[in-house]
Amino acid sequence: MTITHVSGSERFNFVQRSPAELLAAASNLAIHTIDERAIEAVDPLTFEVIRHRLAAITEDMGDALKRMSGSVVVTDCNDFSAAIADETGDLVLVGVYNTQLAASLDMAIKWTLEHRCERPGIKPGDMFLCNDPWVGGGLHQNDVSLFAPLFHDGKLFAWTGAVCHQVDLGGVSPGSWSVSGRDVFWESTPVPPVKIIEGGELRPDIEDMYLRRSRVPKLIALDLRAKLGANNVAQERLDQLIGKYGPDTVKAVMKRMMADAEKRLRAKLSSLPNGTWGAVAHQDGARAGDDGIYKIVLQMSKQGDSLTFDFTGTDKQVEGFINCTFAGLRGGIMPIVLTMLCNDIPWVPGGIYRCLNIISEQGTINNCTFPAGVGKASVASAWATQNAVSETIASMLVTHPQHCRGAMSVCEGTWDLTVLAGVDQRGGPFVTMLCDSMSGGLGARTDRDGVDTGGQSCIPMGRIADVEINEFSFPMLYLWRREEVDSGGPGRFRGGLGASSCFIPHDSPAGRVHLVVSSPGKALPLAHGLCGGYPANNSYDVLVRATDVHQQFAAGRIPRNLQDIVGQHDELPSHAETDLDPGDVYYTHWQGGGGYGDPLLRDPHEVVHDIHRQRVSAHAADMIYGVVCDADGTLDDAATQTRRNQLREVRAGDRKAG
């Protein structure tokens, strides 16, 4: 039986409150505030010095988190973030790591101010843990935030927060990605803000409750301490900054940073033409065995100096694990606004949000109500929301001769999820999310090709672990990891290539390794092109059973492609869960970026260059770009012109394709 509503769950829904309302809700707290005159009194030199110091503190938080974490997802792939907020939770700065995560940290802080002031109270040395996507702080339960109030002279001055992806917090499937789940009760249990650090001391009872759910509690405990350390580093540095310049001056800089970001974004928006741009993003399959296709509809309007994102028409929430809460919806908007629209504006979400309006109906797949399944929210409906926002903002930017260079086609249209679990080569339990698909193709720009395996638009500092790190950490052996030909969206400027990984289980005492896979974008492409550019490739995952790989190893050969591997080849659906035996091979091919402009307008010499570099196949060059080469691989100008004319006639309906 699937439960569609839980009475009382509305308490955990984030509700936007004004700073005045939050101060009233926290009336039992002494809170540091300043008036407008103090903000205007800060001289420009002091403003710049403190602004850059705050940015450096945010970077210090990220460095501390990476150094103390034991998770490859954090240390090598940068799937985390850190932020500084003012006394009422408005974000002053976010790190350059996973901007999706930082986009909802303010929500959790504001909810805590409203609901935790009386009992258990908010005091110096406290820190709150949260992984409830309806409250905020992250987009799904694996995103666990730890945020801390900063007091000065007995008054609440600011907040610091760190959040990262935890590899397993329970649920039906390893990694907490319950591909067969129908609602949240199949998944890791959400925890609303709970005081886990009290007066500077870790509460063992709360920590035990938190760790008890995980298949890898020691690793989760280490990441908890990493976030604790990141907050301690930030608060120590902020105390020093306040001690040097005074609390009023530091607070005035924080407030002016938000006002400045708002002013600069409004000025940029005012320079763009008014209008409305639409996009529809999709997901195929809400859970294992489901072949439905679900849509997110966006109409983005620009009027004057503000943007309105209207998601009216988006599909209702579904049985499965692909829904996201309002935190995920915001997490789909803010990364694109930051990277594409605010590329020349300091990333101060507290000011940038003032320029944005969001219209969304509760109960939809990107603003779902409890207890909808949200285990894959960050890379499902939130990611699809991001694709739609990317398409609309880019469409707006290309209308302006000065700002058009900031436009980019949709980057990697989906995250190709691979989770491995079992017994590692040292005999201990392990669970990991393989982050190879962090190296997606970036979308093409208005004047250049997208970056091949350049990453993702929402994680500017995203990385993939070295092959050797993954093989050392987990019982796996790579056959290859490489960029894939024709995976970038064709266009006048080509989208960046995606890539593939192919590996076997290796050296596990248990023999077999558990596998969970989830990737939409198999029924239809998700990385759309722009202005006539084509979409990137579909996702493609193959499991080959009972292979001859070990026999090839014994003969001194390493397979170079799937055709070299003898065995039972099965193309995997969007979601699947199974075991890998020692002789099985798993191949995952994730997406590139969308193209920009008509492929028939691409410089033929660039196409030939791509053929020689194995970015584009000769077949795609002929069928899509209309470029013909001689037998020696040189451009045939006359044949190319003829071929392009033929393709234009096909488009016009005057000739059959072929």
**Which of 596, 613, 634 is the last residue before a domain boundary?**
596
62: which 2 tokens? 């990220």
Assigned domain for 399 exists? no
- Same domain for 618 and 497, yes or no, is no
User: Does 510 lie in the same domain as 439?
Assistant: yes
Rounded distance, CA 632 to CA 444, Å? 29
Q: Are 489 and 427 in a shared domain?
A: yes
Question: Is residue 172 in some structural domain?
Answer: no
Could you say which of 559, 579, 596 is where a domain stops?
A: 596
Domain identity same for 501 and 635: no
Identify the domain containing residue 551 by its residue range. Answer: 408-596
Predicted local distance difference test score (pLDDT) of residue 14: 93
Phi/psi for 28 (5° steps) reads -80, -5
Query: In this predicted structure, what is the pLDDT of residue 418?
Result: 97
| Model confidence, pTM | 0.96
End residue of a domain, out of 213, 239, 263: 263
Task: State residue 655's pLDDT score.
Answer: 73
Q: Annotate 271-322 with DSSP letters as a single string.
A: HSPPEEEEEEEEEE-SSTT---EEEEEEEEEEETTEEEEE-TTPPBP-SSS-
CB within 8 A of 244, min separation 6: which ones? none
3-state secondary structure 378-394: HHCHHHHHHHHHHHHHH
Q: Is residue 28 situated within a structural domain?
A: yes
The first and second tokens of residue 54, run together, are 């705050």
- Asked if 423 contacts 506 with a C-beta cutoff of 8 angstroms, the reply is no
Three-class SS of residue 240?
A: helix
> Are residues 106 and 39 located together in one domain of the fold?
yes
Question: What are the CB-based long-range contacts (under 8 Å, 24+) for 291-298?
Answer: 291/523, 291/573, 292/318, 293/523, 293/524, 294/318, 294/322, 294/365, 296/365, 296/366, 296/381, 296/384, 296/385, 296/388, 297/388, 298/385, 298/388, 298/389, 298/392
Number of domains in the chain: 3
State how far the Cα of 495 lies from the Cα of 311, in Å rounded to an integer. 27
Residue stretches of the chain with pLDDT short of 50: none
Same domain for 452 and 554, yes or no, is yes
One domain for residues 103 and 229: yes
Amino acid found at 212? R
Quick check: is 377 in a domain? no
Residue type, 299: Q
Whether the link from the prior residue into 247 is cis, omega within 30° of 0, is no
For residue 385, being part of any structural domain is answered with: no
Which pair of tokens denotes residue 244?
């040097």
- Does residue 250 belong to any structural domain of this protein? yes
In a domain, residue 50? The reply is: yes
Q: Which of 490, 441, 497 is nearest to 600 (CA)?
A: 490
CA distance 411 to 336: 11
Same domain, 92 and 214: yes
Give me the pLDDT at residue 36, please.
Answer: 86
480 and 460 in one domain? yes
Q: Are residues 639 and 617 in the same domain?
A: yes
Q: Are residues 495 and 644 in the same domain?
A: no
157, 258, 349, 518 from 85: Cα distances, Å: 9, 11, 10, 35
- From the CB of residue 212, how many other CB atoms can be counted at a distance below 10 Å? 9
In this structure, the answer to whether residues 109 and 21 fall within a common structural domain is: yes
Detail the DSSP E strand segments found in 76-182.
Answer: 80-86, 91-94, 127-130, 143-152, 155-165
DSSP classification of residue 406: G
Contacts of 609 (CB under 8 A, 6+ apart): none
CA atoms of 425 and 558, how far apart (whole Å) = 22
DSSP 494-552: PPPP-EEEEEEE-S-TTS-EEEEEE---SSS--S--BTTPPP-PPPEEEEEES-SHHHH
pLDDT score, position 2: 63
**Assigned domain for 288 exists:** no
Contact between 617 and 486 under an 8 Å Cβ cutoff? The reply is yes
